[in-house]
Structure formats: C-alpha cells, structure tokens
Homo-oligomer: A and B are copies of this chain.
Amino acid sequence: MDFRFTEEQEKLRTEIDDFFLDNLPSDYRPRGQRGQTMEQYKFWMDLQRKAGAKGYLTPGWSKESGGLGLSDMEQGVVMEETSYWGAAWPGSQGIRVCGPPLHVFGTEEQKSKFLPGIAKGEDIWYQAFTEPDAGSDEANVSLRAVEDGDNYILNGQKTFITAPGQGDYLYTLARTQDVTPKHRGISLFLIDAHSPGVSYSALPTLGVFTVDIFFDNVKVPKDRLLGELNRGFYHAMVTFEFERSTTGGGAGARRGMEELIDFYRNEKPNGKPLLENPAVRDLLADRAIEMELVWLQGWFAAWHFSQRDKLGSPPPEAGGLHNKVVSADRAKQLIDAMGLYGQLRRGSKYCKYEGRAAGSWEVSRSTHPAGTIEVNKIVLGGRGLGLPRIPAKFNKEIRAAIEERG
C-alpha cells in the first residue's frame, strides 16, 4: 500500500499546475458555464486550444491522436489538476465522452478525422442521447435512422443535451431497427452539427445549459456509423463507463473548499469571522470528509482500472451516489449559514461568495444528470450487489394489469 505519487507524477502535476498558473488571469474565478459571457467563452476556447496544443486535454491518447500517450495513473494526475482549476473546457464532452468509444469502435478513417480535432481543443461535441421518452430508460430511443442509399435519414428529437459551447458534432444514438428487446436495434452516429435539417432550441436547466435538438430528414453518410449497426447501445455503455469514472472530483472539491474557507475567514459579521460559527464548521467538516473520500475512491478506481488486466472489473462503488444524495444537504447547509444573503444571485448587489450559495442550492434541487439518484440505486442494487429484480419481460403484462385495475 502506498498513497504517494511517483516523482514523475509529481513533476507532471507541477507542469500542469504551472500551465494554469501562467495562463489563468489573477482575478480568475473557477466556475460557471451558466450565464457565460462571450468573453468568458472565448477565453476558455483559447485556453482549451493552448492546452490541446500541449496534449493536456487528452493525455492518455496516443500522440498520433493528439495525446501524450500517458499511463492511466498519469492521466489521473492531469485530470486532477485540471479539475482543481475548474477548467470549463467547452470541448469536455468530446474529450471525456465521445473520444473513448471512438478509439474503441471507430474506423481508422473516423479516428484520424475526428480525434485530433477533439484533442487539439478545436471541435466541440455534444453527446446527444436523451429523448423525451428515453431518459432513465436509455434504450427507449425513437430518433429514427432509415437507410437510404449511402446515407441514413434521421428524424426525431433529442432533449436535455448539455451544450457547453458551440457544437460541431453530435454523438448520437438512433433507432435503426424495431426489435425486442429494444436495445438491440440502436446505432451510434457521428453527425455534423450543422447538417441540413438539424435545428436547436435552448432548454436552460437549473444546472447546466442544455438544448433540444430536432432532426428533420437529416442525411448522415453511412461512414458516420460508429461501430456495428444495431450494436450502438452496447457501444454506448462503454461511454457510460468513462463518463462515470474520474479522479477529478476530489481536486475540484479541494479548490472549492479553499475558496469557501477563505470566504468564511474574511467575512466577519459583527466582527466575528464566520469561520468560528459552529454551523459553518460543521458544513466544512462534512465537505472535507466527502472531499477526502471522493479523492480516495477516485484514485482507487483509477488504480484499479490501471490494473484491469490483473484485477478485472472493479468492485461496486456507491460513492457517487452518496455524494448525489448529500448534495442537497450540503447546499442547504451552505445557504442556511448565510442568513438572508443566501438567497442572492450572482451579480446582485450585496451578493456574497459570488452567489454560489443560491446557485448550488438551486442546482441541488435536481440530481438527475448522469442518472437520477433512483436509477443509481437501482443499478447498484442489481448489477452492483446482485440483488434480485423483476425481469423486464414481465413489465408489459404488469402494466396491463395495473391499467386494468385503474
């Protein structure tokens, strides 16, 4: 057992840290795509390109793909520092979500066409999976892709698609076959975001900025199919694996802690630092514990992944679920400890701590991104702990019986 990083890893950490220290302005505040100004957005796009040029966006990718060819653990170090600085990469979904399955299932042509753009920080991808009737039930895709010569013609809608910047490509699940079970007729497509027939409308949420995407006879060339036809759902599962594992959480939380402590230290109503307030101390301790656990479990996961040939698939882990569940409590503690000031939004006169109390409280209302708490629990109980569940084949019959009963 050893909780120390290697010297090389520490060197890499310093290098990344220096990159941010040199390139971020001294008045930088590490948060918020929400309500981003044009200037902020441009700043991040510029910095993303700079980071991309150095391979920092995708350190684990091969040099040909625009990465640094680093090992899993070193990738973790880069991710950790990037999270510490709260880098709001507009290209984050390409980097974290679309890139990995592209590596696994893409043709050589697809890889050479798409990967460098992601790695260099040029292209912005949207992961366009969710539909009005395919939320938790991810296999219930009804965006339809119909073969038509050398193309597929897509019709339908995606919704709640996180849009961290001006999208260039869509990484999309569409139905290519009507079949039972439903997940056997879904395919993955790599689509130009501005193909004729694609249109967007804003769907701002309490958390991130999302959009609706409409497909009206959108022509997608056949060479934009990723992986096997009708196997898209299984390919996409790989995506979920990546989406849900990270070493960044702990470091991001650490920066947040530093800022919060600093705020409490310097804010002195009635001459007494808030840092001496018992409710504040309680909140800080809770957050520190969770930060430490996230950090440990993030690294355990990264380490386990790095040893996957020897260790196989990782044991079930409910840390992410825990953090989702307590996020509402933490947000409540934060806003409660600010008295009437807690309700002020960023930009308001008198607003404290940049309105983050109100902001995080509002976001905590809903914990559905990357799966609701409920779905998380179902997955962990079933796949994780092997507890019994009702086989899906009964669903229709049960539903009919319920409806009959009224």
Contact = CB atoms under 8 A, between A and B. Distances in A.
A402 B398 contact: no
A390 interface: yes
A401 B391 contact: yes
A391 B391 CA distance: 15
Contact of A397 (B278, B394, B405): B394
A388 interface: yes
Nearest to A397: B394
A393 B404 CA distance: 14
A405 B391 CA distance: 9
A353 to B, nearest CB: 24
A397 B390 CA distance: 10
A281 to B, nearest CB: 12
Interface in A84-104: none
Interface string A181-212: 00000000000000000000000000000000
Nearest to A404: B391
A176 to B, nearest CB: 29
Interface residues on A, range: 10 to 19
Nearest to A406: B386
Contact of A391 (B278, B389, B402): B402
- The secondary-structure label for the interface of chain A is helix
A398 to B, nearest CB: 5
A247 to B, nearest CB: 34
Contacts of A278: 278
Contacts of A397: 394
Contacts of A389: 402
A394 B402 CA distance: 12
Contacts of A401: 391, 393-394
Contacts of A391: 398, 401-402, 405
Contacts of A398: 390-391, 394
A22 B394 CA distance: 65
Interface string A371-406: 000000000000000001111011001100110010
A389 B390 CA distance: 12
Interface string A288-310: 00000000000000000000000
A87 to B, nearest CB: 40
A389 B397 CA distance: 12
A388 B278 CA distance: 45
Nearest to A390: B398
A347 to B, nearest CB: 35
A388 B393 CA distance: 18
Contacts of A405: 391
A67 to B, nearest CB: 41
A393 B388 CA distance: 18
A250 to B, nearest CB: 28
A402 B386 CA distance: 11
A388 to B, nearest CB: 4
Contacts of A394: 394, 397-398, 401
Contacts of A393: 401
Nearest to A402: B388
Interface in A303-327: none
A402 B388 CA distance: 6
Nearest to A393: B401
Nearest to A387: B402
Nearest to A388: B402
6 contacts: A390-B390, A390-B398, A391-B398, A391-B401, A391-B402, A394-B398
Interface of A: 278, 388-391, 393-394, 397-398, 401-402, 405
